[in-house]
Amino acid sequence: MILKNYEINKINQNINHFILFYGKNEGLKNEALHTLIKNKNNISNYDEKEILDNENNFIESILSKSLFELEKIVVIKRATDKILNILQTLQFKKLDEVTIILNSENLDKKSKLRSFFEKEKELICVPFYPDNDQTLSKLTYNFLKDKNISISPLNVNLIVNKCSGDREALFNELQKIECFVKNGKKINNDNISKLINLSENHSISELVDNCLAQNKKKIINILNENNFSNEDCMIIVRFFLIKAKKLLTLSTVFEINKNIELTISSAKPPIFWKEKEITKQQIQKWNPKNIKKLIYAISETELQIKKNINNSINLITDFILSQSSAEFNS
């Protein structure tokens, strides 16, 4: 059964145990997924390849359910036609309190997976097509108004055109602008052009997240694939500060309740589903005492960059590599 993306509230997870999201609009898919799984604690994330490599284990984990589990949400990323046989195996099994959500990229009309979901009455299929420029412009103006940031309509159009109809890409660009403004600088045409061309392959947020999770191999790949400028370094520092302060709040909660799922679900604003796993890694790596030291180190790095702007790339690279390798005493 096909639903429009604005009809998500019609999904009844007590009846609709299989849900397919597909399309190129990652931002809108993430928003819809967040709507479905908010306030849910037992969420398992898989990549399709993991399941195909361990098919029997996956089916067994779906069918086995603890008496203490109220419900189980399974999110499968990058789903393709290859997973169809497994879904057909599970379709007629007793799946009380289990919901399987597939997140696929673009599936054409010939896709067997898409056809399977469209034709079956109790299966839900939701396409997510690119946002039009009018929608993205409205989202941009609302964001800028909320943050009290003023930029020209010409630059709004420049940002919107950069994002190719994907609101996730849009918010990544707007976050860069927010960080730039928080650093006390004024936005002009040159700044906008530099900011939206920053980090084509990886967002700054991904760089900072992987540093805080100490995924050193991933960090080195990001650094090697990006040609950061001196101005970019200040934006990266501001992202570090924002992320570190959020992590301090979560880590403090975790120190009290010792429950990682409860800590994640307590976050305000809520953490996007796709960021939950890396946030868990960060919480388990850092305690409040070490995060406070980190925040001090961020401030010191920012000060050094301001004093030595021509050496800022070396300074930020050294800072990132040192924090990604930091060892802590509990």
Domain ranges of the chain: 5-127, 133-196, 204-324
Entry pTM:
0.60
User: Which DSSP string corresponds to 43-59?
Assistant: EEEEEHHHHHHTHHHHH
How far apart CA 44 and CA 271 sit, in angstroms, is 15
Return the number of other C-beta atoms located less than 10 Å from residue 193's C-beta.
13
Query: Residues 143-172: pLDDT tens digits?
Result: 999 988 888 888 898 888 878 788 887 887
Identify the pLDDT of residue 326.
79
Short-list 69, 79, 83, 1, CA closest to 41: 69
Where do the DSSP E strands lie in 149-263? none
Quick one: fold of 133-196? Answer: Helicase, Ruva Protein; domain 3 (1.10.8)
Task: List Cβ neighbours of 289 (8 Å cut-off, separation of 6 or more).
Answer: none
Interval 120-151: pLDDT, tens: 888 999 999 888 999 999 999 999 999 888 88
Answer yes or no: CATH 3.40.50.300 is held by domain 5-127.
yes
**What does the block give as tokens for 31?**
């928003």
pLDDT of residue 185: 64
Return d(Cα 280, Cα 233) in angstroms, integer. Answer: 26
72: pLDDT strictly greater than 50: yes
Please give the Cα distance from 173 to 194 (Å, whole number).
11
Q: Which of 133, 123, 38, 126 is nearest to 87 (CA)?
A: 123
Q: Tell me, which fold does domain 204-324 have in CATH?
A: Zinc Finger, Delta Prime; domain 3 (1.20.272)
pLDDT of residue 199: 45
**pLDDT tens sequence across 14-65:** 778 899 999 988 888 888 988 888 877 788 888 899 999 999 999 988 887 6
Main-chain dihedrals φ then ψ at residue 84, nearest 5 degrees: -60, -45
Determine the pLDDT at residue 71.
76
| Dihedral angle computed from the Cα positions of residues 296, 301, 302 and 303, in that order, rounded to the nearest 10 degrees | 90
* Residue 198 confidence (pLDDT) above 60: no
Average pLDDT along the chain? 85
Q: How confident is the model at residue 107 (pLDDT cuts 50, 70, 90)?
A: very high
Which residues share a beta bridge with 104?
22
Helix (H, G, I), strand (E, B) or coil at 102: strand
Q: Where residue 201 falls among pLDDT bands split at 50, 70, 90?
A: very low
